[in-house]
Amino acid sequence: MKNIKNYSLEELKQELISLGEKPYRASQIWEWLYKEKVKNIDDMSNLSLDLREKLKQNYTMCNFNILKKQESSDGTIKYLFDVLDGNAIETVLMEYYHGKTICVSSQIGCKMGCKFCASTGIAFVRNLSAGEIVEQILAVEQDIGQDISNIVFMGIGEPFDNYENVMKAIKILNDPKGLNIGARHISVSTSGIVPKIYDFANEPFQCTLSISLHATNNEKRSKMMPVNDAYPIEELLKACKYYIQKTNKRISFEYALAKDNNDNMQDAKELVKLLKGMLCHVNLIPINKIQNGSFVKSSNENIIKFRDYLNDNGIVATIRRELGSDIDAACGQLRRKNL
């Protein structure tokens, strides 16, 4: 059976036409799904019983079950959802500067192999569908009884390795008739799949783009992130410049600071040189410890020194607040779970 949350409004209209129904029914169904947020097709009370039956025969609602819910002392909540095919995914709810933010996963597992990330090292299973991405938000909203206004694609997976489904999910999230979450409130983070950065620049909606940079030269970056072998820093930054020129939007560069690896003043100097003049912002992340990981967090003192150097030299930099590390919900700590 097909997941009814997998369709853009246009596509759902086509689905209804193929069922011999009027296309405006799609708008009614969307209202039930994304405004009323019902859990059952039977609750769509302005649809005829006949149509409800037809829908039930053809589609599932794909309501995730919560397998586990862990709450951090800082209020961050990590959910483990049963995605109904024997797999489970993690989604994190955080209290961020501007309210509640959901960090969604885009894949079951990840192929990128970043050396400092817990999502690495466990076999990749499959992409999440658009509906499964959207359902993460609906399931969290239902659990807390509150709407969420900020989404970050920073959970498990590489969003640009599942480009089509992630773009469709954004369309559903962003559509005024869908969840109506402003593009400015949606951030997508990539390890740097260059061709997709060009595609993203040409999309009609303008979400925030974050780039996981983490190092300032190819030798160092390749040691941390194998994707750098395919798309080295020069190509990555060229794509970023295209994105900025095309969208006039600021890029956020993520830089996870690891002691004696990429956190000395020489690195800071090189980072300034690389990014000087670009419409960008640097998000410094104190690297989070992972099981069997060899990277150690920089000292607070050093992180502040690094930030100040960037700020003093014309690069706007902030330090990302560490949330949920006591429940392994912080950046890079999510891993694929078996049921």
Interface segment toward ligand SAH; rule CB under 6 A; list 9-17, 33-41, 110-118, 234-242: 110-118
Tokens of 121: 């090292």
**Catalytic choice (110, 207, 240, 331):** 331
Of residues 216 and 288, the one with the C-beta less far from ligand SAH: 288
Binding of ligand SAH by 124 (CB under 6 A) = no
Quick one: which of 137, 268, 290, 327 contacts ligand SAH (CB under 6 A)? 290
Which of 8/127 has CB closer to ligand SAH? 127
- Taking CB under 6 A as the rule, does residue 287 contact ligand SAH? yes
Nearest C-alpha neighbor of 287 from the set 228, 225, 233, 209: 225
Residue 158 contacts ligand SAH per CB under 6 A: yes
Would you give the binding string for ligand SAH spanning residues 196-215, x where CB under 6 A is met? ----------------x---
> Which residue stretch of 47-55, 121-129, 133-141, 283-291 sits at the interface with ligand SAH (rule: CB under 6 A)?
283-291
CA 142 to chain centre: 20
Q: Which is nearer to ligand SAH, 25 or 297 (CB)?
A: 297
Shortest distance (Å) from residue 329 CB to ligand SAH: 12
Residue 164 annotated in active site: no
Is residue 288 part of the contact set for ligand SAH (CB under 6 A)?
A: yes
Q: Is 332 in the site for ligand SAH (CB under 6 A)?
A: yes
Write a three-state SS string for the chain: CEEHHHCCHHHHHHHHHHCCCCCHHHHHHHHHHHHCCCCCHHHCCCCCHHHHHHHHHHEECCCCEEEEEEECCCCCEEEEEECCCCEEEEEEEEEECCEEEEECCCEECCCCCCCCCCCCCCCCCEECCHHHHHHHHHHHHHHHCCCCCEEEECCCCCHHHHHHHHHHHHHHHHCCCCCCCCHHHEEEEECCCHHHHHHHHCCCCCCEEEEECCCCCHHHHHHHCCHHHHCCHHHHHHHHHHHHHHHCCCEEEEEEEECCCCCCHHHHHHHHHHHCCCCEEEEEEECCCCCCCCCCECCHHHHHHHHHHHHHCCCCEEECCCCCHHHCCCCCCCCCEEC
User: Which amino acid is present at 31?
Assistant: E
Q: Does 116 bind ligand SAH (CB under 6 A)?
A: yes
Binding status of residue 194 toward ligand SAH by CB under 6 A: no
Q: Does 154 bind ligand SAH (CB under 6 A)?
A: yes
Q: Name the pairing type of β-strands 126-127 and 107-108.
A: antiparallel
For ligand SAH, the binding residue among 16, 93, 104, 117 (CB under 6 A) is: 117
Q: Residues touching ligand SAH: how many (CB under 6 A)?
A: 18
Sort 137 into a burial class: Cβ within 10 Å, 0-12 / 13-18 / 19+: buried
CA-CA distance, 13 to 290, in Å (whole number)? Answer: 45
- Catalytic site residue from 90, 135, 158, 254: 90
Q: Is 256 in the site for ligand SAH (CB under 6 A)?
A: yes
- Binding segment for ligand SAH (CB under 6 A), chosen from 113-121, 129-137, 138-146, 195-203, is 113-121
Q: Which stretch binds ligand SAH (CB under 6 A): 65-73, 80-88, 138-146, 183-191?
A: 183-191
State yes or no: residue 240 binds ligand SAH (CB under 6 A).
no
Q: Is 91 in the site for ligand SAH (CB under 6 A)?
A: no
Q: Is 191 a binder of ligand SAH (CB under 6 A)?
A: yes
280 tagged catalytic = no
Query: Active-site positions?
Result: 90, 331
- Judged by the rule CB under 6 A, the positions of this chain that interact with ligand SAH are 112, 114, 116-117, 154, 158, 189-191, 212, 254, 256, 285, 287-288, 290, 331-332
